[in-house]
Each structure stands twice: as structure tokens, then as C-alpha cells.
Structure 1
Amino acid sequence: MDSYIRRLQKSMDFIQKKVNTEMLELLPADITPPQIMMLYQLYKLGLCKLSQLADRLQVKPSSITVMIDRLEKAGFVERLADPNDRRIVLVQLTDKGLDIIHQTVELREKVMTPLFSDLPEDQLIALVETFEKITKKYEDEL
């Protein structure tokens, strides 16, 4: 079992490094990978409190505030007052933020497609189903 885990880890590390390197080369210069991750979580959450975003990303709320400040300044997100409680600040993607999410999804597909293009369809299906099975037990934690 140990040898399979080592082999799997080596392959996963290689794929992650390759995808990250290529994505960094293709991303617009005005955004960083951690900012993309935050925008993606905002995309999934929709209009939300900063504390919800901090929980989702498993970081301190003060860290979220700093990153949201930068993203707001760049025009990717906007802050809104909660109509029910003015003490609560909500955040959501702007059209520019949504556009960068769409660009990133297209770039990821462009980068990842060649990695799996030589796999026969049945092997690709088996690979995807195996990873889905492994991750299913952790989905509720996110």
C-alpha cells in the first residue's frame, strides 16, 4: 500500500505543479492564484458575509478583509451593507470578477485537457469516479 501511495503522491504533485505553472503563465497579470481562489469561493457562495468567506477558506477574518480590500480596489468585488443589519458587510463578485472566473475555468480546461487526452474514455471515467469517491467523504466539511 505504501508504494501505491508514494506513486500516487508523486503523480499528483507533478500534475499540480504543471497545471499551476502553466496557469500562472496564462493568468492576467493583475490577479494572483490566492485571489482567484477567493473569487471562486465568492462565485460559489454568492452574496455573503466576510465571516462566511473566511470560514470557507479556513482563514482569519482579518486576512479576508485585506484581500477583499485589494480585490475591491481592482474592481473584482464590491461590498454592500446588509439591508437587515447595517453592522454586517456583505461582499459579492462584480461583472469583472465574474469574467475572471470564466476566463480561469477556460484556462484550466486548456491546460488540463492535454494531460488526460491520451487516456481512453473508460480509463478517464474510472479515474474521475475514483477521485469523486475519495473526495465525497470530505465534501460535507467544505
Structure 2
Amino acid sequence: MKLEDIQSKQELDTVADIEKDLRYISGIIKQKGRELLSNYTITPPQFVALQWLFEDGDMTIGELSNKMFLACSTTTDLVDRMEKNDLVVRVKDPNDRRVVRIHLLEEGERIIDEVIKKRQVYLQEVLKDFSGDEIVSLKHSLSKLHHEMRGE
């Protein structure tokens, strides 16, 4: 076997290990997130919708559907339930009355803020044995990976 074949095999093995670690980390984060949500009256898909509204501001059902990779009818049902629980409200666009936007209400914002803070506390606990340099390096690497995946 040639040296470049060995290096190529090692690179493939490393990439496979990274993919596996990311998959496992993603699963743990999802599970931990669901545990945190069990103390609230919202479902995981509602949390995702609220998070998009929290981060990106008001949007139409179509825009929210695209971000969540859901059918518009599914998103409409989701918004209906969140509206009943006073988490969001539908508002007519002042510039075009045909357009209806979903607006995050104070209670929805409070829940998102609380859950995100609890997730950060959990992550802080997980990182307690990491050095400051390791944490900065991890942040840099994850940011770079995120930008590459988004094609930026």
C-alpha cells in the first residue's frame, strides 16, 4: 500500500469518526432538550418554531414552514395551538394586508429564553473539564464548520 493510500484511508476514517461523534452529540442534545421541555407546556416542534421566531423575528407561515421543513398545513396547525396558548399571534402586514405574519408574544419569548439558558447551563457543566483554550478552539472549529455547511 502506498503512503498516499494510507493517508487517504486515515482521512476517511477520521471523517467517519467526526460524523459519528456529531450524530451522537446531536442525539444527546435533542434528548436533553426534550427533558428540559417536559417542564413546559410546549412540544419539541413548537419549541423549534418559537426559536425561529425568537432568532429571525416575525415571518409568514410559508417562511416558517420552509425553515422547519414542514408542510404549510402542518405549520398552520402548530401555529393554531401556539396561538391558543398565547405564545404567538397572527398580525396583518401593515404594508400588504393580504400578508399575515406570526409574531412571538411575551410568554413565548420567556419560555424560549428560559430553555436556552438551561441548555447553556447544561453545556457549561459538560465543558467544566475543558481548558479555556480548548473551549475557544472548539467554538472556532464549530463556527467554521457551521459556515462551511451554510455555504458562506
- TM-score, normalised to structure 2, is 0.81
1:102 aligns with 2:90: no
Larger RCO (alpha carbons 8 Å, 6+ apart):
1
Alignment partner of 1:69 is 2:80: yes
From the superposition, tell whether residues 17 and 42 of structure 1 become closer, same or farther in structure 2 (CA, over 3 Å).
Answer: same
- Checking the alignment, whether the CA contact within 8 Å between 1:19 and 1:112 is kept in structure 2 is no
Match of residue 13 from structure 1: 23
Q: 1:140 to 1:83 in 2, by over 3 A?
A: farther
Give aligned pairs, total: 141
47-56 or 37-46, which deviates more: 47-56
- Which entry has the higher C-alpha Rg, 1 or 2? 2
Q: Show structure 1 runs of 4+ deviating over 4 A.
A: none
For each residue in 1:83-109, what CA deviation from the matched residue of structure 2 results, as whole angstroms up to 9, or x when unmatched? 233322111100000001101111111
Letter in 1 for 2:22: M
CA distance in 2, matches of 1:16, 1:26: 15
Shift of 1:76: 0.8
Unaligned runs of 5+ in 2: 1-10
Give the one of 53, 57, 72 matched to 2:64. 53
Shift of 1:66: 1.2
Greater share of residues in strand: 1
Q: How far off its partner does 1:140 sit?
A: 5.8
Give, in whole Å, the separation in 1 of the partners of 2:77 and 2:119: 26
Q: 1: CA distance between counterparts of 2:55 and 2:49?
A: 10
* 3-state SS of 1:48 partner: coil
Choose from 94, 98, 113 the match for 1:87.
Answer: 98
